């Protein structure tokens, strides 16, 4: 870049870059690095020249002098701002919307209709450890079992099998038994709180629980105790659910390794449970909790659900509050249930899908669960090219068999095509760098279980604000393309990327492209087990819907599960 010749254009150019333009958007990361190397408190002319060279910019001495004043003024302002402590879950005052122009979400409230399966208490109560929430709630509602009995059973299993699976960070025995006794007293007094009344559950350990450690899976936060409950914990307590444990998360919501080691898959103890909702996936699959809550930024509910064979729901962003939950990306983070059935996910979502006045991204849209919804009235699609890309014969057979099951339930599939559009649009690097900026700048990143994670955050210092915002505008364009491609369906199916052929010349396949697009657009999705791999681990299929279409999404998944038994299988290592 060269400076314009003398005149009004040149003066405007210099004014722009000497003020807030270049000093605040193009060079902050480079200049910060130069200052750190020199141990300096302000930018020198030499540092500025070197930073300009790195950025590929050419300015004359007059322009550099004008710019230098503005840069150092910016440094002073930023230093003042960094003295202000910002809680991790405070997002910027603008909020992501998954709805694009022309897209509507239903605001009609309809009656909540759940199943009431006939149940009978077995002689050995531990037999119900793998029962669905739908069935457990009927045991409690009909007073065949108390919440205290269920809680004691699940706590005993948690303590017995945690040494095998490494899925618990903090046991909450005393708290759980107090909540269970309160649930029993409420029921005796005629205060039935609904289908989650008395059901034991586990929380991923990035969700705050007052008075107990919330470690985020990291040595750097191992002693952290937050003086508040997350809204989600409050909502589930109000629904009568009983919190029995804080379950493991990969460090700072990545992977299945945390400061206590690796969390394992109960179907195959030779492999991890996948992440980062590693503990919820493992504990739910192993029958150690009635259900669990995980979080997802880019696969952290769907991946461990698939690996461990549980039914995991990634809701639309804006469906469930994230208040007092560790933030990684305010435009991607979501919380959702990990259960044994699609209807279980619906029962949990019914309790938590509402605004709380704290997370301003949450929208006031009804979630109208109807267990009797006739899926033949829905437009159900699938992505043929994605199914064709699966080269693992066993996975392909499971995928095709699942389509046949739904055809047998009256589904007339329509085809969905994946748009040709870039998916190199993830905001996670920049947004996570914002949330962990203080950790890195103070050098506390060396306390991380995996200190190497900070390298990515440091790289994000070099991303100009203009480029970040431009990327997100392109993301909006991508979302509009995906909306057009899916406007003729309510729900559609796609395989998991496992077993798919690689892209040609490094280009992503249709399956990979769709997976990225649906995540970036925050479409709801549910992972449903539909067979087993040769390793003995479950295979799974993904169901998707357009934003806030969780009712239809879970109805189709339930129809599949009503016709199959894969979600009822039990891992041998914990039975």
pLDDT, one tens digit per residue, over 233-282 is 999 999 999 999 999 999 999 999 999 999 999 999 999 999 999 999 99
Pair of tokens at residue 165: 């699976």
Q: Is the pLDDT of residue 211 over 80?
A: yes
Domain definitions of the chain by residue range: 1-84, 125-420+468-574
| Contact assessment for residue 164 and residue 223, using Cβ atoms and an 8 Å cutoff | no
| Contact assessment for residue 194 and residue 177, using Cβ atoms and an 8 Å cutoff | no
DSSP 545: E
**Residues paired with 545 in a beta bridge:** 491
Find, among 90, 78, 86, 60, the residue nearest to 23 by Cα: 78
Q: Which of 147, 273, 274, 276 does the annotation list as catalytic?
A: 276
- In sequence order, which ranges of 82-132 are alpha helices (DSSP H)? none
- The confidence score (pLDDT) of residue 55 equals 72
Q: Is the pLDDT of residue 332 over 50?
A: yes
Residues 6+ apart with CB under 8 A from 92: 330
Residue 558 designated active-site: no
pLDDT, one tens digit per residue, over 34-82 is 776 777 778 898 888 888 887 777 888 888 888 888 878 877 887 788 8
- The confidence score (pLDDT) of residue 521 equals 98
Arithmetic mean of pLDDT over the chain: 92
Q: Is 161 exposed, middle or buried (0-12, 13-18, 19+ CB in 10 A)?
A: buried
| Contact assessment for residue 413 and residue 380, using Cβ atoms and an 8 Å cutoff | yes
pLDDT, one tens digit per residue, over 184-201 is 999 999 999 999 999 999
264-265 and 261-262 strand pairing: unpaired
Find, among 116, 34, 40, 43, the residue nearest to 74 by Cα: 43
pTM reported for the whole predicted model: 0.90
Find, among 75, 70, 60, 79, the residue nearest to 19 by Cα: 70
Helices (H) and strands (E) in the chain, counts: 20, 15
pLDDT, one tens digit per residue, over 289-308 is 999 999 999 999 999 999 99
DSSP 110: -
- The confidence score (pLDDT) of residue 505 equals 66
Give SS3 for 218. Answer: coil
DSSP 538: E
Across the range 104-114, mean pLDDT stands at 95
How many CB atoms are closer than 10 A to CB 191? 11
Residues 6+ apart with CB under 8 A from 235: 321, 351, 352, 354, 356
Residue 516 to residues 112, 215, 388, 424, 459, Cα–Cα distance (Å): 33, 29, 18, 9, 22
Residue 276 designated active-site: yes
Pair of tokens at residue 89: 């879950």
Residues 6+ apart with CB under 8 A from 15: none
Residues 6+ apart with CB under 8 A from 532: 538, 539, 569
| Contact assessment for residue 228 and residue 247, using Cβ atoms and an 8 Å cutoff | no
Residue 97 designated active-site: no
Handedness of CA 286, 287, 291, 292 (dihedral sign): negative
Give SS3 for 322. Answer: coil
pLDDT, one tens digit per residue, over 463-505 is 889 899 999 999 999 999 999 999 999 999 999 976 556 666 6
Across the range 162-183, mean pLDDT stands at 98
Find, among 476, 470, 518, the residue nearest to 493 by Cα: 518
**Measured distance CA(104)–CA(17) in Å, rounded:** 42
Pair of tokens at residue 13: 């150019």
276 prior amide bond cis, ω within 30: yes
| Contact assessment for residue 229 and residue 209, using Cβ atoms and an 8 Å cutoff | yes
- The confidence score (pLDDT) of residue 498 equals 67
Q: Give buried/exposed letters for 62-71 (b at 16+ CB in 10 A, else e).
A: ebbebbbebb
Residue 94 to residues 21, 90, 91, 97, 331, Cα–Cα distance (Å): 21, 11, 8, 10, 10
Give the CATH number of domain 125-420+468-574.
3.90.1300.10
Residue 215 phi/psi, 5° resolution?
A: -90, -15
Q: Is the pLDDT of residue 5 over 50?
A: no
Q: Which of 300, 371, 527, 540 does the annotation list as catalytic?
A: 300
DSSP 284: H
pLDDT band at 112 (very low <50, low <70, confident <90, very high): very high
- The confidence score (pLDDT) of residue 420 equals 95
DSSP 92: P
Angle, CA of 152, 158 and 164, to the nearest 5°: 155
How many CB atoms are closer than 10 A to CB 377? 10
**Residues paired with 204 in a beta bridge:** 247
Find, among 288, 281, 286, 298, the residue nearest to 337 by Cα: 281
Question: Sheet holding 242-247: strands in order across?
Answer: 168-171, 242-247, 200-204, 291-296, 334-339, 311-314, 525-532, 538-545, 491-495, 380-382, 414-415
**Measured distance CA(207)–CA(228) in Å, rounded:** 10
Q: Which of 204, 218, 329, 432 does the annotation list as catalytic?
A: 204
pLDDT, one tens digit per residue, over 412-456 is 999 999 999 999 999 999 999 999 999 998 999 999 999 999 999
Residue 240 gets the label, from left (phi > 0), alpha (psi -120 to 50) or beta, of left
Residues 6+ apart with CB under 8 A from 487: 546
- The confidence score (pLDDT) of residue 8 equals 41
């Amino acid at each position: 870049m060269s400076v314009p010749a003398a005149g009004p254009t040149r003066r405007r150019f210099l004014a722009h870059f000497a003020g807030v333009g270049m000093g605040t958007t193009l060079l902050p990361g480079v200049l910060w690095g130069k200052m750190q190397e020199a141990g300096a408190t302000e930018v020198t002319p030499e540092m500025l020249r070197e930073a300009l060279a790195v950025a590929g910019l050419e300015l004359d001495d007059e322009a550099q002098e004008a710019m230098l004043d503005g840069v150092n003024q910016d440094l002073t302002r930023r230093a003042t701002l960094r003295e202000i402590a910002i809680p991790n879950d405070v997002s910027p005052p603008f909020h992501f919307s998954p709805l694009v122009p022309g897209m509507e979400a239903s605001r009609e409230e309809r009656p909540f209709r759940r199943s009431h399966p006939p149940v009978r208490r077995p002689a050995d109560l531990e037999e119900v450890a793998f029962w669905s929430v739908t069935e457990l709630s009927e045991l409690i509602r009909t007073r065949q079992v108390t919440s205290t009995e269920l809680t004691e059973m699940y706590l005993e299993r948690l303590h017995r099998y945690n040494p095998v699976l490494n899925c618990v960070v903090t046991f909450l025995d005393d708290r759980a038994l107090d909540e269970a006794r309160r649930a029993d007293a409420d029921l005796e007094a005629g205060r039935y709180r609904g289908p989650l009344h008395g059901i034991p559950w586990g929380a991923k350990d990035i969700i705050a629980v007052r008075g107990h450690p919330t470690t985020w899976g990291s040595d750097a936060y191992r002693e952290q105790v937050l003086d508040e409950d997350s809204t989600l914990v409050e909502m589930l307590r109000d629904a009568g659910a009983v919190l029995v444990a804080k379950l493991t998360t990969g460090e700072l919501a990545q992977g299945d390794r945390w400061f206590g080691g690796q969390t394992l898959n109960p179907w195959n103890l030779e492999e991890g449970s996948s992440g980062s909702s590693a503990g919820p996936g493992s504990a739910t699959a192993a029958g150690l909790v009635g259900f669990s809550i995980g979080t997802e930024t880019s696969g952290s509910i769907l991946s461990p659900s698939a690996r461990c064979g549980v039914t995991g729901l990634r809701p639309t962003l804006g469906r469930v509050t994230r208040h007092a939950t560790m933030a990684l990306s305010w435009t991607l983070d979501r919380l959702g249930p990990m259960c044994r059935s699609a209807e279980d996910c619906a029962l949990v979502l019914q309790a938590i899908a509402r605004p709380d006045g704290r997370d301003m991204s949450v929208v006031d849209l009804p979630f109208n669960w109807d267990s009797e919804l006739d899926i033949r009235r829905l437009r159900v699609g699938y992505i043929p090219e994605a199914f064709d890309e699966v080269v693992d014969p066993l996975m392909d057979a499971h995928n095709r068999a699942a389509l046949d099951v739904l055809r047998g339930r009256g589904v007339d599939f329509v085809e969905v095509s994946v748009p040709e559009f870039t998916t190199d649009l993830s905001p996670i690097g920049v947004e996570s760098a914002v949330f962990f900026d203080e950790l890195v700048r103070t050098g506390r990143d060396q306390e991380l279980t995996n200190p190497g994670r900070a390298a990515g955050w440091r790289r994000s210092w070099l991303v100009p604000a203009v480029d970040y915002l431009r990327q997100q505008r392109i993301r909006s364009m991508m979302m509009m393309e995906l909306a057009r491609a899916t406007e003729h369906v309510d729900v559609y199916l796609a395989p998991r990327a496992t077993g798919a052929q690689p892209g040609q010349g490094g280009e992503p396949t249709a399956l990979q492209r769709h997976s990225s697009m649906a995540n970036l657009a925050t479409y709801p999705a549910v992972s449903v087990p539909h067979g087993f791999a040769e390793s003995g681990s479950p295979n799974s299929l993904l169901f998707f819907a357009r934003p806030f279409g969780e009712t239809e999404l879970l109805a189709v998944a339930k129809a599949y599960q009503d016709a199959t038994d894969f979600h009822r299988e039990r891992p041998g290592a914990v039975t």
